[in-house]
């Protein structure tokens, strides 16, 4: 039996490493990547000269705000007995994220959310200056939050199915791992705060369930099948299901990885990002090889890398991640603090 805490930390650190590996080449085609880094593409973290760390991007920043948000919501709701993970903490934490990126709060939003809240100890998440750096934040996220209205599944905020909903929900699967079906629902609601297209939030639901099942000891295929079964209960599930099925089919085939990834898409949209990440996780048992494969393509490298890292970290744990990559990752300490908090609270809450 794997150590659960190890899987929690592994999932967030793995996601951050995949994100950082891909961030350097986010907007490059595979040909451009190869002409800069050689025919194997990028194979190591790029260390930023000023920070002396490998920089994470908006994917990891928002994942940390999701973790902050669900801890916040859990404690508020358990105190008051009402509320939801999306509306009673995560939305507020995303307003904080909006503030870090723009220097102001959205129209009609309460500045009170920027203050240290009861769920935070001495140093809250806003004490980390790295979270205030702009690392190519997603437009759907910024625009949706700017409106001052919280998107929901019933009242979509837009028709976006960008990957900004799915790339940030791993903490939901971790925290609610004992209830894979509920984790699907909560992650979909949290993604729907900013992404109103069904595929935009259903892919997020699927990822959360995969993460939850992995933490419970299922393998990647079993976890994915569980997610697919839950997915089918939702309206407009077809596009997400098709992408996941293609991913499994290609991983089981002898198709060359470069070609297979091309067929799955570039990952700018939610179902493609999940499919590419899943394909690379299924194709490799070595995390390093999987992450390298997951970022070297024409598309949204940091998001496919982040999701692949979330999945593999939850499968094999922190000990399977390359040590030098862990040491070099920006915000390593905060990632460990937040995943440990999620673990402690989740064990306490649901045991």
Q: How far is the CB of 172 from Mg ion (least distance, A)?
A: 19
For the bound state, the minimum distance from the C-beta of residue 167 to Mg ion, rounded and expressed in Å, comes to: 7
- DSSP string of 16-78? HHHHHHHHTTTT--HHHHHHHH-TT---SPPPPTTTSSBPP-HHHHHHHHHHHHHHHHHHHHH
CB 333 within 8 A of CB 29: no
Q: How far is the CB of 134 from Mg ion (least distance, A)?
A: 11
Q: Which residue has the tokens 């970290």?
A: 313
Query: Which chain residues interact with Mg ion by CB under 5 A?
Result: 57-59, 302
According to DSSP, the residues that pair with 269 across neighbouring strands are 162
Which residue, 21 or 215, is less far from Mg ion as judged by CB?
Answer: 21
Task: Name the 3-class secondary structure at 269.
Answer: strand
Separation CA 283–CA 323 (nearest Å): 22
Does the annotation place 302 within a ligand binding site?
yes
Residue 304: exposed, middle, or buried by beta-carbon count in 10 A (0-12, 13-18, 19+)? buried
Q: Which residue has the tokens 């609610």?
A: 176
147 sits in which H/E element: none
Residue 299 or 317 with smaller CB distance to Mg ion:
299
* CA distance readout (Å), 93 to 97, 125, 185: 6, 9, 19
Q: Which is nearer to Mg ion, 170 or 251 (CB)?
A: 170
* Closest CB to Mg ion among residues 59, 213: 59
Q: Looking at beta carbons only, is 20 or 220 nearer to Mg ion?
A: 20
Nearer to Mg ion, 193 or 227 (CB): 193
Q: Is 303 annotated as a binding residue?
A: yes
CB of 303: closest distance to Mg ion in angstroms? 6
Q: Is 300 annotated for ligand binding?
A: yes
6 among the known binding-site residues? no
R_g over Cα of the chain: 18
Sequence-distant (≥ 6) Cβ neighbours of residue 41 within 8 angstroms: 25, 30, 33, 34, 292, 295, 296
- Nearer CB in complex with Mg ion: 7/16: 16
- Closest chain position to Mg ion (CB): 57
At its nearest, how many Å lie between Mg ion and the CB of residue 275?
Answer: 18
Residue 57 annotated in ligand binding: yes
Q: How far is the CB of 137 from Mg ion (least distance, A)?
A: 8
d(CA 256, CA 215): 30
Distance of closest approach, residue 254 Cβ to Mg ion, in angstroms: 32
Distance of CA 228 to the CA centre of its chain: 18
288 alpha-carbon distance from chain centroid: 18
Annotated binding site for Mg(2+): 57-59, 300, 302-303
Annotated binding site: 57-59, 300, 302-303
């Amino acid at each position: 039996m794997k150590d659960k805490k190890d899987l929690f930390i592994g999932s967030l650190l793995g996601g951050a490493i995949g994100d950082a590996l891909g961030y350097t080449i986010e907007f490059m085609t595979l040909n451009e990547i190869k002409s800069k880094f050689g025919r194997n593409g990028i194979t190591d973290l790029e260390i930023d000269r000023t920070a002396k760390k490998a920089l994470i991007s908006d994917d990891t920043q928002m994942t940390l705000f999701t973790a902050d948000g669900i801890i916040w919501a859990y404690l508020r709701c358990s105190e008051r007995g009402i509320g939801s993970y999306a509306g009673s903490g995560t939305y507020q934490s995303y307003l904080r994220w909006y503030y870090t990126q723009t220097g102001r709060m959205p129209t009609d939003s309460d500045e009170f959310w920027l203050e240290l809240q009861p769920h935070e100890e001495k140093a809250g998440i806003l004490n980390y200056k790295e979270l205030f750096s702009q690392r190519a934040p997603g437009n759907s996220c910024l625009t949706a939050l700017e409106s001052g209205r919280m998107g929901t599944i019933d009242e979509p905020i837009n028709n976006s199915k960008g990957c900004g909903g799915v790339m940030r929900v791993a903490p939901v699967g971790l925290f609610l791992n004992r209830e894979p079906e509920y984790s699907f629902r909560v992650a979909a609601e949290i993604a729907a705060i900013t992404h109103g297209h069904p595929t935009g939030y259903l892919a997020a639901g699927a990822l959360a369930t995969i993460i939850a099942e992995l933490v419970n000891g299922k393998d990647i295929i079993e976890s994915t099948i569980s997610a697919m079964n839950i997915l089918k209960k939702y309206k407009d599930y077809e596009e997400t299901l098709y992408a996941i099925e293609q991913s499994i089919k290609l991983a089981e085939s002898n198709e060359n990885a470069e070609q297979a990834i091309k067929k799955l898409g570039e990952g700018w949209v939610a179902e493609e990002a999940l499919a590419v990440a899943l394909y690379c996780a299924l194709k490799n048992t070595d995390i390093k090889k999987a992450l390298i494969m997951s970022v070297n393509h024409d598309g949204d490298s940091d998001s496919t890398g982040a999701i692949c890292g979330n999945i593999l970290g939850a499968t094999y744990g922190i000990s399977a991640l390359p040590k030098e990559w862990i040491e070099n990752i920006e915000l390593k300490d905060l990632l460990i603090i937040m995943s440990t908090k999620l673990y402690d609270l989740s064990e306490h809450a649901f045991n």
